[in-house]
Amino acid sequence: MGSRFSTYATWWIRQTIERAIMNQTRTIRLPIHIVKELNVYLRTARELSHKLDHEPSAEEIAEQLDKPVDDVSRMLRLNERITSVDTPLGGDSEKALLDILADEKENGPEDTTQDDDMKQSIVKWLFELNAKQREVLARRFGLLGYEAATLEDVGREIGLTRERVRQIQVEGLRRLREILQGQGLNIEALFRE
């Protein structure tokens, strides 16, 4: 019972600092017991790295610790760091990762030009239809400045029944198919990505 306060205080201070580091150094917080287990794997990896003169594989670490390779691999994946896409790439470059990543959804200039050409062609082909077919197709599919609408909505807007709008749509699409076939195209090609 005669131990000094400083004996206990040192241990508690060290533990508090270690816990704070474990809880706050990662973007995604891991539970303390996972961090402790991960540290065992990382310490073993460092020791093996010094012995073997190369970065040890998950198999080598698993063999050293007598653990399953899958467990070691899973734990090592938890050590991967998350980096902001705004962080500079380093070196002399002032570019960030965000500046060099390609946006898969963004159309390039050639796609934009092709889309514009296709829109102009569709408008030209629509004007080869009669006025009723052109209006129904434009309203149904959101062309010529209209919002895409249901058969019922189109019928209500132009004073026709839903069934009559459907019939005009079928006639218009049939006529459009004939126009496209006359130019060596098929209507399905319009809707392919």
Question: How confident is the model over 100-156, as pLDDT tens digits?
Answer: 776 667 666 776 777 777 778 888 888 888 999 999 999 998 888 889 999 999 999
Asked whether residue 182 is domain-assigned, the answer is: yes
Left (φ > 0), alpha (ψ -120 to 50) or beta: where does 96 sit? beta
- Same domain flag for 80 and 15: yes
Is residue 189 pLDDT above 70, yes or no? no
CA distance 62 to 73: 9
pLDDT given for residue 166 in this prediction: 94
Q: Output the pLDDT for position 183.
A: 79
C-beta separation of 86 from 78 below 8 A: no
- Average confidence score pLDDT of the chain: 84
What's phi and psi for 22, nearest 5 deg? -65, -35
Say which residue, 112 or 16, is predicted with more confidence. Answer: 16
Say if residue 69 is in the same domain as residue 113: no
Please indicate, yes or no, if residue 92 is contained in any of the structural domains: no
Whether 117 and 99 have beta carbons less than 8 Å apart is answered as no
Instruction: Classify residue 159: in a domain, yes or no.
Output: yes
Name residues whose C-beta falls within 8 Å of residue 152's C-beta, 6 or more positions apart in sequence: 162
Q: Please state the domain count of the chain.
A: 2
Tell me, yes or no, whether 69 and 133 share the same domain: no
Residues 74 and 135 in one domain: no
Indicate which CATH number applies to the domain containing 146. Answer: 1.10.10.10
Q: Does residue 66 lie within any of the structural domains?
A: yes
Q: What pLDDT shows up at residue 193?
A: 41
Q: Model-level pTM?
A: 0.43
**Domain limits at 121?**
109-190
Residues 165-185 have a mean pLDDT of 87
Task: Compute the average pLDDT of residues 78-103.
Answer: 75
Whether residue 97 is contained in a domain is answered as no
- Give the H or E element holding residue 144: none
Would you say residue 176 lies in a domain? yes
Give CA–CA dist 102/106, Å, rounded.
8
